[in-house]
Amino acid sequence: MKSFEMLERAKSAELPPYGRNVEIHLVVGRHAKNPEQAQEWGEGYIPLSSVVKGYSSRADRAQVTIARVVDSVDASTFAQGYNKSVRDELNNINISDEMRDEVTRITKLNGYTEGIQYYLDHGHEDLQATDPVIAAAELAKRVDRFQRMPDRLRSNSRIEPIVITHGGKLEAFLREVLVITDEDGNSKTGFRHLDEIGGALRETENFELFIRTNEQGEKRVECLFRRKAYTLDQKRIIDLLALLPKAVEEGE
C-alpha cells in the first residue's frame, strides 16, 4: 500500500502545471506611524507562506513600513525569499490645501474617522482632489492583479503579498466593493458611513484576502476584516477598473 506521502505526490503530479490548488494570502494595510511601530508589526507578523513580497506607495513612510515588516518576516525561519516594489496605484490621495485644512479641523474636533469620512463624502467636489471613486479604482487595480494571478502560478503554490498604502484610499476601496450582510441575511455592496465597519483604518491595520483555486482551477475569494468574513463585489471591481486609463501591463 502506498504511503500517504506517496499518494499525495502522485495526486499532485496529476494536476495541470499551473493554476490548481493555489493560495494567495493578500494583506492590504495602512502604513505605520513611525519606524518603531512598523518594526513591532513586522516582528509580530506570522506569515502563512514561505514566499513573501512587499508593495508600497512612493511615500517614505509607506516604504519604511514595508521594509521593516518584510525584513522582519524574512529574518524568521519560516519566511524566505522576498523583494519589495513601489506601485503608483498605491500612492496617497491628492487634496487641495483648503480641503486638507478642513479635514485636519474635523479630525481634531471629531476624530480621524470623521476626517476620512469628510473626504469620502466631499472629495469629488474638490477639483484638486483624487475623486474617492478613482482612489478606490486605483487600489482595485492592485487587488485585481492578485485575483488574476493564480492562473499564472504553479499548481500547489502559496504566496503572501503585503501591500501598504494610505488612509482615504483604503476606505474608499472598501466603501465601493465590500459586501456587507446584515443579521437577516440581506446583502449590500458598500456603506454610507465608516461607522458601519467600525471606523477608518488605524496605522498598520489591514484587511486580508484569501484567493484560492481548487484542483479544478475554480477560484474563490474571501475577505477577512476586523475578524469578520466578507466577500468583494467582483462586478463593481470590474466597473472601477474601467474608470482608469489603459496602461501597459507592468510586472507584478
Residue pLDDT, tens place only, 6-61? 333 444 557 888 999 999 999 999 999 999 999 898 888 888 777 888 999 999 99
171 near 201, Cβ under 8 Å? yes
If we measure between CA atoms, which residue out of 21, 166, 19, 164 comes closest to residue 94? 166
Q: What is the pTM of this model?
A: 0.88
Give pLDDT, residue 50. Answer: 73
Which domains does the chain show, CATH number per domain?
Answer: 19-93+132-241 (3.40.50.1240), 94-129 (no CATH)
Percent of the chain at pLDDT above 70? 88
CB 119 within 8 A of CB 95: yes
Give me the pLDDT at residue 72, please: 77
Q: Which residue has the higher pLDDT, 128 or 82?
A: 128
Q: Give me the pLDDT at residue 132, please.
A: 97
pLDDT at residue 207 greater than cutoff 80: yes
Q: For residue 141, what pLDDT is reported?
A: 96
Show the cell assigned to 220: 474563490
For the cut 80, the answer to whether the pLDDT of residue 125 exceeds it is yes
Q: Specify the pLDDT at position 74.
A: 62
Pairing between β-strand 158-165 and β-strand 52-56 as defined by DSSP bridges: parallel
Q: What is the pLDDT of residues 160-202, one digit of tens each?
A: 999 999 999 999 999 999 999 888 889 999 999 999 999 999 9
Confidence (pLDDT) at 142: 96
What are the helix and strand counts (H, E) for the chain?
Answer: 8, 9
Coil, strand, or helix at residue 38? helix
Among 1-15, 87-101, 153-167, 219-233, where is mean pLDDT lowest? 1-15
Contact 143, 241 (CB under 8 A): no
Residues 6+ apart with CB under 8 A from 105: none
The 3-class secondary structure across 82-142, one letter per residue, is: CCEEECHHHCCCCCCHHHHHHHHHHHHHHCHHHHHHHHHHHHHHCCCCCCHHHHHHHHHHH
Q: Please tell me the predicted confidence (pLDDT) of residue 140.
A: 97
- Across the range 66-88, mean pLDDT stands at 70
Residues 171, 216: Cα–Cα separation, whole Å? 34
**Nearest Cα residue to 85 out of 24, 132, 146:** 146
Mean per-residue pLDDT for 74-103?
Answer: 79
Residues 15 and 33: their CA atoms lie apart, in Å, by 45
Q: How many residues does the chain have?
A: 252
Q: How many CA atoms lie within 13 A of 180 on its CB side?
A: 16
Residue 14 burial (C-beta neighbours within 10 Å; 0-12, 13-18, 19+): exposed
239: left (phi > 0), else alpha (psi -120 to 50), else beta? alpha
